[in-house]
Amino acid sequence: MFSFYIISCEKEVIGEGFPEMESFYLESCGLRSVTLDSVKTFSVKVNDYTTEYPESKDHSLYPKIQDNIKDASLRITIECDTTWDGETHINF
């Protein structure tokens, strides 16, 4: 008779740790309303933190923070002078 034992090693989770990630997430939610320089500064701050604490990248909010940074970094602004004579057609 054979017996098989399966042993699993998982990280013990007592909360996720890294409370700074929650602060970063809350701050990242408002990035669309700040300048691109501020977005860059915030991105550097998060990068510096995750470099110092690499396991913080495993936090469930980390991908959301990165998505918010990406969303706030991509901006296209088109302004038109409405005093032009006639119609202008722009094809993409």
Evaluate if pTM is beyond 0.85: no
| CA angle (59, 63, 66) in 5-degree steps | 125
pLDDT tens sequence across 16-75: 789 999 999 999 999 999 999 999 999 999 999 999 999 999 999 999 999 999 999 987
Rounded (10°) angle between helices 62-73 and 20-28: 30
